[in-house]
Each structure stands twice: as C-alpha cells, then as structure tokens.
Structure 1
Amino acid sequence: MADSSLFQSFFLIFSGAAVVASLALFGRQPLLVAYIALGVLLGPSGFAVIDNLRLLSDMSSVGIIFLLFLLGLDMQPQALVAVLRKATFVGLVSCTIFLGLGFGIGKLFSFTTTESWVIGMALMFSSTIIGIKLLPTTVLHHKHLGELMVGLLLFQDFVAIVCLMVLLSDNTGDMQIWQLALSFGSLPLLIVFAWLIVKYILLPLFNRFDRFHEYVFLLALGWCMGMAELAEIVGLSREIGAFIGGITLATSRISQYIALSLKPLRDFFLILFFFSLGAQFKLAMLPEILLPALVTATAVLLVKPVVFHYLLGARSEHKILSWDIGFRLGQISEFSLLIALLAYAQNLIGSAASHLIQATAILTFLVSSYIVVMNFPNPIATKDELRRD
C-alpha cells in the first residue's frame, strides 16, 4: 500500500468515523457498532473504497494489545480479590450455562464440534463497553450494583484470557493437550520474570524520572510491546503478554497516569480494529448465517437476563437489582469478536461460524443498548427520570 493510499485510507476511516460516531451518539447507539457499520460500508462488501485490508488489520491488532495492557493496569490486586470473591459463583455458573447454550445452538445448525465450542465461548462474555459505559458514574464507584458489575466483568475477563490461551495453543486446527500444557507452563515463568523486571528496573526508573512525562509514556509503551513480543516468543500470545505487563505495573503509584496516557493511543487502534472487522464482514455470507444469527441473538437477549437474575437471587441479591444487572449484561462482548477472529485465523472455525459470532455481537449490542437506555438509569437516557450522569 503506497503512502498516498495509506493516508487516503486513514482520511476515509477517521473522517468517516467522526461522522458516524456523531450520528450514533444522536441515535443513542454504541460507537463500536458505528465503526463496524462504516467498515462494511467502505470495505469490499460495500463501496469497496478501501479494499486492501491486510495492513490495517495488522495495525488494528495493536489496539487489542493496548486494551489488555490497560485492563491489567486497572486491576489493583487487593480490590480485585475482594470484588471477585463476590462474583466467582455467579461467574462460574453463568459462563458454564452460556457455553452450553452456544454449543447447543452450534450443533443445532450443523456446525462442527470445535466450531460449536467456540460459539459457546463467544456467548460466555458480556460487553464492558455497554455494561460500564451505560452505568451512572456514582453507581459505578459507590454502589453495590457497580461492585457486582465490575466483579462479574473482571471474572469474565479472566475466563476470556484462558479462552485466548486455548485458542492460541495450536495453529494447526487441533487443540493438542501437550501444547496447551506447555503454554500454561510458561505462563508462571513469564509472570515471575515480569514482576522481577518491574520491581528492580522499571519502578526505580519511573521513580527517578517521573517528571519527564514523555519518558514515562515511552517506557510504558516499550514495556507493553516488549512483554507482548516476549509472550509470543515463549508460545503464548501478544495479548496475554500485554495483560501480564499491565497487571505487574498495577500497584505502581504511576499506573493510573500511564493508563490515562495510553488511552488515546488505544482508542486510535481500536477504531481501526472495529473498522477492519466490519470491512472483513462478507455481506454475501448473510443469507447463510442470518437465521442462526437471529436465533443466537434472541437466545442471548432472553436467556442472559434470566440466568443472572436467578443466580444473583440465589446469592440474596434484591429482585430489582438482579434484573438490572441481568439486562445490563444481556449481550455478548468485544472479547467475543476477538475470539471469532482468532479462532478463524487459527483454522479452528470456518467463515460461517466467524460471521455468525460477529453478526450476533452486532445484533445484541444494538438491542441490549436500547433496552438499557429505555428502561434503566444511564447517562444517555431519553427519559428525564432515568438520566443519571
């Protein structure tokens, strides 16, 4: 791709993203859905204005690395243990139920066993963007509802990391047990190495030169990318390496400054990620996966709120609170999209299964956000009595 065409691609993506993001905000829609729609519109299945997606796809994967690095930075160990203790039972049981639901739907529509398990994996998770961004700030930080939401989403994040390790344990299309064991065996070694480097090298450097903001930014960026590459070398994934890099820095007094510094860079690459996801979506596949996608999305939207309601009720949570959380988590996740892309890249699933997960994600994002905006307190509610900042 020549320099001029790369510039033109960036112009079309980010100028177009600014326009569709404005329309999405007016229409009370999640921004990531707007970015995916723009990708479909400008990609090969639409007007084919941007038809060389390889470079943009490679660049967009950096956004996922930053996303997991920042996720690790936000996981303070003490608070993490406390909040996960409350959410572990609900998280374990709900993930098992949703895994079985996805597997059953996959087999119903004649997908292979492996594809059905991957579909089940994709259904286990709920969207952090919809779950947290549509939660009023005062509730998120000071109310029991916020604690439970964060705990459940963090538990799902850990499960997602395990799923990524399973998917990346082999690239031949067969999940070999010995190779998966080797990947898990290298994980503690990588964690110990990262902890030693942070304690004896990075933290002294941060403490000595923390006045130089550019240096802090570069050192954090180098650490994130270095851990991502090291994890790739030892047989894990770049995403897992970035997560470990972030969580080993989480106790540092400068971790929140690093997180704030990297968020704009993360958002830049995530826009590319969701755009390339939409651009790679083949509209020609729609007739083949439309019925399975509608069935899967309907099952998610109906089953998830009910499951969370009864599981939280079993933990002595109030009825209104349990329904509130159930509907706020009643969709699949950004991690589901990542799982679909990685599984397809590893030849574990075919194009139809990958597109089924992508279509289900888009449908559940749309419907779930409408349900929350119209019925529960949130920052962008159309009703005055529901609007909470």
Structure 2
Amino acid sequence: MSGITTSFFLIFAGAAVVASLALYTRQPLIIAYIVLGAVIGPYGVEWVTDLKLLADIADVGILFLLFLLGLDMQPRALIDTIQKSTVVALLSSLAFASLGIGIAFLFGFTLVECLVIGAAMMFSSTIIGIKLLPTTVLHHKHTGELMIGLLLLQDLIAIFVLLLLMAFGLGEFSIMDFSLTLLSLPLFVAAAFAAVRWIVLPLLRRFDRFHEYIFLVALGWCLGLAEAGHALGLSAEIGAFLAGISLATSPISQYIAVNLKPLRDFFLILFFFSLGARFDLGLIGEVLVPAMVLATTMLGLKPVIFRYLLHGLSERNSLAWDLGFRLGQVSEFSLLIAYMAAGSAIIGREASHLIQATTIITFVVSSYIIILNYPTPIAISDKLRRD
C-alpha cells in the first residue's frame, strides 16, 4: 500500500476502534481522535509520520465547516448580530490577551513571546463551539446567531494578528500593504455576491436536475473563494464562510448543506487526529506547569468574562452562561499562531509548545464541561442529547 493509503487506513481504522471505546465508556469522540493522534503519530509509536500532508487535508475540514455555517446564516441577520457582538468581542479579546501576557511574563518568557502567547489566548474554538451546539439552536435561535457573530469577529481579529506575524516574520512591515489587505474585504464581499447572483445561481437553476453538478459547483465555489481569500491575505477561512453566506438566500442552500455534512466530518476527524499527532510529547515536562496555569485561567475566567459582557448587553443570564462555557476554550487559530510564529523564529519552541499544550488542555476540559452540562448532539446523557 502507498504511504497515504496506509496512513488513512491507520487513522480511520484506529478512529473506529477508539470511537467505539469512547462510546462504551461515555467519553467525547473529539478526545478519542486527539489521543489516537498522540499515540500513533510521530511522537508516539510513529505509525503515521506524514503530518504536513494530513494537516493540510485537515484544514479543508475547517473550510467545509465554515462553508456550512455560512449556508445557514442570512446576511441581514448576520449583520445585526455582528453589530451587537462587536463590543463583547473586542473587550473579551483584550481581557484574555492581558491574562495570557501576564501569566507568560511570570514564567519568564521574553516580551515578544509574551505578546504572542497573549494574542493566542484571545480566541475561542469555532470547531468546538459549533460542533457541540445542537443544529436547531445553531440555525434557528438567538444563541446560535450570537455565537456565530462572536466567532466571526474573533476570526477577523485573528486574521489581523496573523497578518502582523507574517509581516514581522518577513522582517519588514508595510502599513500600505497591510491597509490594502484590510480594505480588500468589502470588495471581496461585493464580488462574491455579484458572482452568485449573475453566475452561480443561474447555473444551478438551469441544471438543478443533476445532483452531481450541484455538488461540484458547491465544492468549487467553497474552495474557490477560500483560495481567493488566501490570495488576498484575508485567510481561506473567511473566503469559505463568505462562500456559504453568499448562497444562503438561495432555496438550494439547505440541500447543499445536508449533502456536504459527511464530507465535513471526514475532514474534521483528520483535524483532531493531526492536533494530537503534532504535539511533541517530549517537551511536555518543560511546559506542563505554565500550560496548566494558563489553561486553568482561561477555562475559569473565559466563561465569567463572557457572561459579564453578554449580560451587560441585556442578554438573559442563562444564555450568557451557556455561551460563556461554550466559548471557554482556546482556538485552532491559536495553534496556527503558534506554528507560524515558531516557523518565523519570532518565538522559541518552548513558547510554541506552551500555546499548543494550553489549546489541547482547554479543548479536552471544555468538551467535557459542555457535554456533561449542556445540550449537544454527542451528549453522554440522553436528556441532554439534541440534534
């Protein structure tokens, strides 16, 4: 068998085994995939070693997740939600960054490393937040709209941070290039909606009898805008989300969403596997104490800060706590910040692994908190299980 075929066999056969064990022992499936990656990855028994390829493939899962989210977000409702969420997103990001910087400073990291660690703490996981939210809540209720608004604003802040890291990683920073990248966003949005109105939807209406054609156009549109977003410096994730939103007003959007879910889940298994596999277990002793302190701080204070800020917007107390705990972890964007900053020699290996370890710890603990206390599609309790 070829290398990629062997890797896929080991990953998905192993995922089937650990998923069965997780279900029998009432554990979250997400945790099982991360553990599998740590065990059979290059820092475990070394059965799967081509992590760059797998990580690239796994990133496609995130794109499909965001594309499907966009398909269920009406543009007008999204704009209203973002307007309400802006203050919460900015103040919470500032608070989390300050906490991260302060803790990193106490453990003796350099000023630049403290700033990068603080920046990585600002965001919550789109994957954890959305995957553990019931579909009916995500698509049709205020909780889902508010979560999407907050996560989208955080993604925009993350893109801003990544642009800064790319600029400093190249050894130069151009205000002009940076401003042009940010200004390209509204033009990108306008071009996407124009293309849907005048090209994509007419094609879908003309050939809607051919289901394979609809599938191909949807995939091409999602990945095409993702590539365009990357080329403009805005990130592939923003492009994929915009691809979904631009199609959301079409009656065919729900058909596309239903048919792409299995493909999304395929890639997300690879994402969680690669998350566990890319962490060097040999460095755990060096970062365990600061990672535990940082993770505990984020897990303890993120829900409180979100609750306080959301309640200040006249949101119900129960809804504010619900969203606070669902957004109480660190983000996959934090991992990207760690990889990029370390690759550009902006931070050292220890600081990068501190961010990675903190992210994994918060992923694991936050998943347990949500699954044991709030309605989710994969809840252990039948009472809390909601599709």
Q: TM-score, normalised by structure 2?
A: 0.86
In structure 2, the residue matched to 1:37 is 35
| 1:47-88: CA deviation from partner (whole Å, max 9, x where unpaired) | 011223233233333223333333433332111123333333
Question: Which residue is equivalent to 1:188?
Answer: 186
Q: Which residue number in structure 2 is paired with residue 106 of structure 1? A: 104
Whole-Å Cα distance in 2 between the matches of residues 61 and 142 of structure 1?
27
Shift of 1:38: 1.1
Q: Which sections of structure 2, spanning at least 5 residues, go unmatched?
A: none
Query: Match of 1:11?
Result: 9
Give the corresponding residue for 1:316: 314
- The answer for the alignment partner of 1:55 in structure 2 is 53
AA in 1 matched with 2:353: H
Pick from 358, 361, 370: which aligns with 1:360?
Answer: 358
Q: Partners in 1 of 2:172 and 2:372 — Cα distance? A: 45
Instruction: Report the Cα offset of residue 207 of structure 1.
Output: 1.2
1:159 and 1:261, CA in 2 relative to 1: closer, same or farther beyond 3 A? farther
State the secondary structure of the residue aligned to 1:110.
coil
Work out the CA distance in 2 between the residues paired with 1:137 and 1:71: 10
> Given the alignment, which residue of 80, 87, 105 partners 2:85?
87
Match for 1:155: what amino acid? Answer: L
Question: Would the alpha carbon gap of residues 258 and 168 (structure 1) be closer, same or farther in structure 2, given more than 3 Å must change?
Answer: farther
SS at match of 1:12: helix
Which residue of structure 2 aligns with residue 264 of structure 1?
262
How far off its partner does 1:204 sit? 0.9
Equivalent runs, 1:1-389 vs 2, <5 Å = 4-135=2-133, 145-168=143-166, 171-172=169-170, 176-378=174-376
Instruction: Check 1:165–1:276 CA distance in 2 against 1; reply closer, same or farther (3 A cut).
Output: same
Structure 1 runs not aligned, ≥5 long: none
SS of the aligned residue for 1:100 comes to helix
Contact 1:170 1:176 in 2 (8 A): no
Task: Report the secondary structure of 1:48's partner residue.
Answer: coil
1:45 partner SS: coil
Assess if the C-alpha contact under 8 Å between 1:289 and 1:355 holds in 2: yes
Distance 1:194 1:249 in 2: 9
Distance 1:51 1:305 in 2: 37
Contact 1:30 1:130 in 2 (8 A): no
Q: 2:375, 2:195 → 1: CA distance?
A: 44
> TM-score, normalised to structure 1's length?
0.86
Residue type at the aligned position of 2:105: K
Question: For the Cα contact (< 8 Å) 1:28–1:380, is it kept in 2?
Answer: no
Q: How far apart, in 2, do the equivalents of 1:382 and 1:99 lie?
A: 33
Contact 1:136 1:377 in 2 (8 A): yes
Cα deviation for residue 215 of structure 1 reads: 0.6
Deviations 1:170-222 (A, max 9, x none): 65265543332232233333333333322221111011111211111111212
1:163, CA displacement in angstroms?
Answer: 3.8
Q: In the aligned structure 1, how far is the partner of 2:131 from the partner of 2:231?
A: 35
Percent same amino acid at aligned positions? 61
2: CA distance, partners of 1:150 / 1:241: 15
Q: Which moved more, 1:242-251 or 1:14-23?
A: 242-251
Confirm or deny: 8 A CA contact 1:30 1:365 kept in the other structure.
no
Bigger CA drift: 229-238 or 40-49?
229-238
